[in-house]
Structure 1
Amino acid sequence: MQEERRAVAEMDRLRDAEAAVAELRGALARAGVTLPSLGVDPLSYTGDEQGVLVELGRCSVDTARLMAAALPAEETGR
């Protein structure tokens, strides 16, 4: 029973991370930015409870500048 709960929790974390990746991919696309390597880090969602990591990957200098320009100029406290 414990293993089943753990498996369900892992799947929930993975679904949440995939949803976050989709949200980020959409927001970046609206800003004209594409990160080809954007995705869930598969090694981060197995085992522990620390949370799933999102892999942003590398990007060109032009893409980095597009991303910087798309971010708000004011500090939001997040």
Structure 2
Amino acid sequence: MTPTPPAPHTAKVQEALAARDALATALSRAGIQLPAMDIRTPWADDREAEGQYALVHLGVCSAPVALMLADVITKGIAG
């Protein structure tokens, strides 16, 4: 994976941006905020590689935030 910022005009990057935003909104509604969420690509330049997706990078979180995530997921499963 390359740490270079992805080109925002590619379809797969747009898809990843939409997914990141949807996840951030859902987490926010659950009272959870991750310190860093960004998009990364497994390709080295602005050309999409066929069969590869841009990735939503969730970064790192503290133990309390990880426990909050686990709790929200568990409650969702128990539904």
RMSD: 2.0
Q: What residue identity is the alignment partner of 1:60?
A: S
Output the CA distance in 2 between the equivalents of 1:53 and 1:37: 13
Q: What residue identity is the alignment partner of 1:13?
A: K
Structure 1 unmatched ranges of 5 or more: 1-6
Larger RCO (CA under 8 A, 6+ residues apart) = 2
Q: Choose from 28, 42, 45 the match for 1:44.
A: 42
Q: Whose radius of gyration is greater, 1 or 2?
A: 1
Alignment of 1:1-78 (within 5 A): 11-41=10-40, 43-44=41-42, 46=46, 47-49=48-50, 50-71=52-73, 72-74=76-78
- Aligned pairs, number: 65
- Provide, for residues 6-50 of structure 1, a one-character-per-residue CA deviation record: whole Å limited to 9, x for no partner: x9xx61111111000000000000111111211111x33554221
Equivalent residue, structure 2, for 1:4: none
Moved over 4 A (4+): none
Structure 2 unmatched ranges of 5 or more: 1-6
TM superposition score normalised by structure 2: 0.71
Q: What residue identity is the alignment partner of 1:73?
A: I
